[in-house]
Amino acid sequence: MPSAPLPPAPIADLLSDTLTKPTGAMRAVMAEAVVGDDVFGEDPTVRELEEQVSALLGHEAGLFTPTGSLANQLALRLHVAPGEELIADELAHVVRAELGAAAVFSGITSRTWSSDRGRLDPAGPLGLLATGVGPYQVCTSLVVVENTHNFGGGTIQPLSAIRALRAATRPLGVRMHLDGARLWNAHVATGIPLADYGREFDSVSVCLSKGLGAPVGSILVGERDFIAQARIWRKRYGAGMRQVGILAAAGRYAVDHHVARLADDHARTARVAHACATAAPGSVDPASVETNILMLDVGRCGWPPGDFVTAAAAQGVRLYAAGPRSVRAVWHLDVDDAATDHAERVLSELLATGGRPT
């Protein structure tokens, strides 16, 4: 795979919102960033970004990490002792897409509840919780909530459900971590302040490198002592970075300039969802498309997902085969109205044609 030639650029690259490239203005602030050695705590740009994001999320302190997976894994390690468990939705990134890191690095076991498109119903986690189960059963230490929910299709978690879960778990001493890789999208779609979500959790991770368009980076936030511990573990894992203000500057630019514009991504996603539903009723319920992720049930139109992805790619639209019946399309900073028009046309036609063996 590493030696394969790069394919020609698609017209609409909807594979993932991780694909965004830094804009010219972002590169300019990166070039000018004031930097220092962040392992010694001396990079002013990193410190500013950590303070800015932790304040936005209603927490005391923040830690810059190279990836969202590392931000999540530092939180899991600190909340859950070896031999204890975390519980999460069965589609959650921490259980499906981090390659078993919680088990490999931290000796954590996991159990999962099932959901409808990742939507949080407190009954799911509350039905799994095991606390005070003595020396014979695994103790639940942490509940992980993902907002928006990636594999659920960009689903926004209702604040009322989060609050109900918090009210039930807090007296039991069970902690809550928010995988907020796309919390920005939930905030923009609902108008709910980031801190209203953030305050319900002991820790929150957010990504700067998805729809916000920074090339690299996530922030983990929590209480001051918790973040001090996370800083030690980040270094232990080999992710203490030096003059990394050059990347934090991109993150600051993204937070200042690329949050409100996520509404454009949401509008484009909704537009294509409506077109697909018109072209092939049942391929998607437009009411279920809440943010920047569109899941299409192509199986319903007779398409094996892999064939649909290949057919769309031949017409310049890159998608991801997400499940046995579904493909995923994700809108982001680098997909404009013209690319969206093209995707709308190609997807509608393919769905209406239906997949027939050739």
Q: What is the 3-state secondary structure (H, E, C) of the chain?
A: CCCCCCCCCCCEECCCHHHCCCCHHHHHHHHHCCCCCHHHCCCHHHHHHHHHHHHHCCCCEEEEECCHHHHHHHHHHHHCCCCCEEEEECCCHHHHCCCCHHHHHHCCEEEEECCCCCCCCCHHHHHHCCCCCCCCCCCEEEEEEECCECCCCCECCCHHHHHHHHHHHHHHCCEEEEEECCHHHHHHHHCCCHHHHHCCCCEEEEECCCCCCCCCCEEEEECHHHHHHHHHHHHHCCCCCCCCHHHHHHHHHHHHHCCCCHHHHHHHHHHHHHHHHHHCCCCCCHHHCCCCEEEEECHHHCCCHHHHHHHHHHCCEECEECCCCEEEEECCCCCCHHHHHHHHHHHHHHHHHCCCCC
Per CB under 6 A, 67 contacts ligand PLP: yes
By CB under 6 A, residue 290 contacts ligand PLP: no
Cβ distance to ligand PLP smaller for residue 108 or 351: 108
For position 112 contacting ligand PLP by CB under 6 A, the verdict is no
> Site for ligand PLP (CB under 6 A): which residue of 59, 77, 79, 93?
93
Under the criterion CB under 6 A, does residue 68 sit at the interface with ligand PLP? yes
Binding mask 118-157 for ligand PLP (x = CB under 6 A): ----------------------------x---x-------
Under the criterion CB under 6 A, does residue 89 sit at the interface with ligand PLP?
no
Q: Please state the closest distance from residue 193 (CB atom) to ligand PLP, in A.
A: 21
Rounded to a whole number of angstroms, the minimum distance from the CB of residue 67 to ligand PLP is 3
User: Least CB distance from residue 155 to ligand PLP, whole Å?
Assistant: 11
The one segment of 36-44, 50-58, 112-120, 206-214 that binds ligand PLP by CB under 6 A: 206-214
The answer to whether residue 181 forms part of the interface with ligand PLP (CB under 6 A) is yes
Q: Which residue ranges make up the site for ligand PLP (CB under 6 A)? A: 67-69, 72, 93, 146, 150, 179, 181, 207, 209-210, 218
